[in-house]
Amino acid sequence: MTWLATYPGHVSSSVLERPSSPATGPAPLRLGALTVDPAVVLAPMAGITNPAFRTLCREFGAGLYVCEMITTRALVERNEKTLQMVRATPDEADAFSVQLYGVDPATVGRAVEMLVDEGVAGTRPAHVDLNFGCPVPKVTRRGGGSALPWRRVLLRDIVRAAVRAAGDVPVTVKTRIGIDVDHVTYLDAGRIAQDEGAAAITLHGRTADQLYSGTADWAPIARLVEAVDIPVLGNGDIWEADDALRMVAETGCAGVVIGRGCLGRPWLFGDLAAAFAGGTRRALPTLREVAAVMHRHATLLSEEQGERHGCTDFRKHVAWYLKGFSVGSDVRRALAMVSALDELAELLAGIPDQPYPTAVLGGPRGRTSPPRPVALPEGWLADRDDPRPPAGAELPVSGG
């Protein structure tokens, strides 16, 4: 655990030294009274950005670490699983960040009130984000996520309700370019967010029908920067710290939001902090060092969920951590069935150490899928100014 314990302020025993460059990141991001320095945000990911993963990422770098997507209906109804998901860790006391999903302005407003005024999370959030970017069919077919900005009056009413309920807590918005190339929404969404008092907006450089396929288009991020006065954060295809520097340089965005790029690589946040400060070193952990991070991750999950459930939850991370390493299929299968920390430690100890596989740098991580038409409620595209949420649109559970 030496490398993990000493990484903040130090460098891994294996590093990639980038050529000297004057490129640095943007200034610290200010969201109301909250300062995010460096201007790096962990994107909410279902089943991933739980307290354990947020803690692990925070141990490597600084930024804002957002919890899994919380459904407003489930929160208002005090669903027990949702109440567990919305709790902060001790080290998040001053910067607890919550992302909410909802399609009904009244329900969204009530959920924000509960977080801000009642302290249902145990910690008053420092930041609330509204999800208008999720492309998952079970969300869009109810008019939520990346489908919702098409209904611009409904979008306005939701943002207005959240901002009013939040008081001095900054509210931000996350969205995509649009439903598809024929139904582009990001410029309207940006103007509405600004007019209704949102502190910032994040734009993922894909349409909903692209899901996570192809290459993110950063040009709309630059256009949105020109169109609004509030900070714009860029999201999409940031696999390395230098991708973040390039996005900032090309778009003028005020910060970056990191999703799939940190899967199996929580040290990316250390690289981002170094890059944004003008540093040129990037971590290249050996397999032994990666194994230490894997065990730490599983330990945090076990502390949170109990050892058996924590190790079971960790299984999905194994392939991401070992991407590119030479590890036998039998060992990979055993790791993907691990149910105890000692078992995990023994399996990891039996793998010969090896340098980081640089061939995987800059490549996509996590889920990919081919483009497909977006599932929408019947008649959803007919009237952009219809303020009514679809019947039965609110999801009863959280997590995406």
Upper half-sphere CA count for residue 16 (Cβ side, 13 Å): 18
Question: What would the pLDDT profile of 39-62 be if each residue is shown by its tens digit?
Answer: 999 999 999 999 999 999 999 999
Looking at residues 119-141, what average pLDDT do you find? 90
Q: Is the pLDDT of residue 400 over 60?
A: no
Average pLDDT over residues 187-200: 98
> In whole angstroms, what is the distance from residue 247 CA to residue 242 CA?
9
List, by residue number, the catalytic residues. 134
Here the tokens at position 267 are 């040290």
Cis peptide leading into 38, omega within 30 of 0?
A: yes
Domains, the chain, with CATH or none? 26-282 (3.20.20.70), 287-360 (1.10.1200)
Mean pLDDT taken over the chain: 92
List Cβ neighbours of 279 (8 Å cut-off, separation of 6 or more): none
Q: What is the pLDDT of residues 289-315, one digit of tens each?
A: 999 999 999 999 999 999 999 999 999
Q: Is the dihedral of CA 270, 276, 277, 282 positive or negative?
A: positive
Query: In the structure, what pLDDT confidence band is assigned to residue 7 with cuts at 50, 70 and 90?
Result: very low
- Mean pLDDT (whole number) for 109-131: 90
Q: Is the pLDDT of residue 14 over 90?
A: no
pLDDT mean over 372-395 = 89
pLDDT at position 94, please?
Answer: 83
Question: Is residue 114 scored above 80 in pLDDT?
Answer: yes
